[in-house]
Structure 1
Amino acid sequence: MIESDVTVILADGQFPAHPIPLAILRRARMVICCDGAAQKLIGSGIRMPDYVVGDLDSLNMELLDRLGDKVVRIESQESNDLTKAFELALSMNSEKIVILGATGLREDHTLGNISLLSRYAENADVLMYTDYGRFMAIYETTTIPSHKGQQVSLFSLTPNTPISYKGLKWDITERPLLSWWEGTLNEALGDSFTVIFEGGRVLVYQAYMQKV
């Protein structure tokens, strides 16, 4: 079920094409665009952005005038546009945040955006959806809803943390994931799986069953 009480942050990566992120974008209570993502959203005809955040170097004056008071100019180079948009969402008391458009173009931007998810999730309920699946960050033992046959990958951002998991085709017990590939390409056996650890940070990726 697609919730309608989420705030969407639309990053300036590849614009969503899969039905799931597109449905989230349509139903969101508010959409905050990162700079050039505003042009993509308006061009899609889906909706207008509620806010546009960044140094705005990707937008022409005509569009800036059209957006008017929806524009929030933040020129600081101490954080990227995605973080600026996230901080704006927090300032508006957004408790559920979905990040879209954060992947699919330059690989360095993709890796940077995905890694930031673990930082953001300390302050809000945050998920990142792509055209292929969903990322979430967890900080402690967590049972995650799934379905039989779903492809699952886990990435430890604290590689010395021992991790166990149950309910996946290839379970492990008290093993640190020293390299990112070590937790990839697993598969759920039922309607949930559990990741067991303490004092670390883990990114969980769940692929869609339905393709574009």
Structure 2
Amino acid sequence: MEENDDKTMNYPIITKDYKAGAVILAAGDYPKNEIPLCILNNAEYVCCCDNAAVTYIKNGNIPDVIVGDCDSLPKEFKEKYSDKLKVEVEQEFNDLTKATRFCISKGYKDIVYIGATGKREDHTLGNISLIVWYMQEFGIYPIMVTDYGYFVTAKGLNKFGSFKGQQVSIYNLDCKKINGTGFDWPTYAYQWIWQGTLNQATGNEFELDADGSYLVYRTFDAKDKL
């Protein structure tokens, strides 16, 4: 993301060419879509959450670090990759947060999360909500990429790269106003999660002006291709 002179942010379209500083790979569904796979393969630094390392290595890769309580890793695996393990046994925070703190300690603020959705629905919901907490607690602007699109966290006035027909969902967190331009349907400070879903971009950019924090989801494909 790029910060403008007035402290607003420009959120680019995420493509397979996006170069992440760090990718945190969680143990949800391993990506199949070309875009998250390319981002994962081209990342400067790959941090696996605990058991996600097993799948990552089975796919022919070696992570830079494996972070978590490591209780689900086979003994032989832990012995073989002992030089990659960063074991954190405290249970107040989950492995995604432990991995985030570790990447931040290494100087990474441009963090992309992959494999954080799928499998258990409670983990999916928890992980999506966590990236908002990371923005507020750690001062970073995470990106969570799935096989279908990507979530970003935002606050205040921002511009988002888009294209005609892109499906956009906006989730109000603590806003009393959300004014948007570049959409098929008007935006407002939604009271319920479902109210901000399934809007649609009209061109190559949309803007959101809010008095608080919000979450934005954008699809990779236009509606007629989904």
2:149 to 113, 118, 133: 133
Aligned to 2:5: none
Q: CA deviation at 1:4?
A: 3.5
Q: Check if 1:202 corresponds to 2:214.
A: yes
Where does 1:31-180 land on structure 2 (aligned, <5 Å)?
31-45=46-60, 47-122=61-136, 123-158=139-174, 161-172=176-187, 175-180=188-193
User: What are the superposed Cα offsets for residues 133-162 of structure 1, whole Å, 9 maximum, x if unpaired?
Assistant: 01000011111110111000001122x522
Q: Check if 1:14 corresponds to 2:26.
A: no
One-letter amino acid matched to 1:163: I
- State the TM-score, normalizing by the size of structure 2: 0.88
Q: Which runs of 5+ in 2 are unaligned?
A: 1-14
* Whole-angstrom CA distance in 2 between matches of 1:11 and 1:110: 10
Q: CA deviation at 1:3?
A: 3.6
- State the TM-score, normalizing by the size of structure 1: 0.93
* Whole-angstrom CA distance in 2 between matches of 1:20 and 1:119: 25
* Conserved? CA contact 2:141–2:153, under 8 Å: no
Q: CA deviation at 1:164?
A: 1.3
One-letter amino acid matched to 2:184: K
* 3-state SS, counterpart of residue 156 of structure 2: coil
Aligned to 2:6: none
Aligned to 2:8: none
Q: Check if 1:189 corresponds to 2:202.
A: yes
C-alpha RMSD of matched pairs (Å)? 1.5
* Whole-angstrom CA distance in 2 between matches of 1:115 and 1:170: 25
User: What are the superposed Cα offsets for residues 10-56 of structure 1, whole Å, 9 maximum, x if unpaired?
Assistant: 011111111000000100011100111000101112x1111111110
User: What are the superposed Cα offsets for residues 80-134 of structure 1, whole Å, 9 maximum, x if unpaired?
Assistant: 0000000000000002110000001111100000001112234223211001101
Q: CA deviation at 1:5?
A: 4.7
Q: Percent identity?
A: 43
One-letter amino acid matched to 2:41: R
* Whole-angstrom CA distance in 2 between matches of 1:4 and 1:189: 27
Q: Check if 1:28 corresponds to 2:40.
A: no
Displacement over 3 Å in runs of 4+ = none
Aligned length: 207
Q: Which runs of 5+ in 1 are unaligned?
A: none
Change (3 A) 1:118 1:70: same
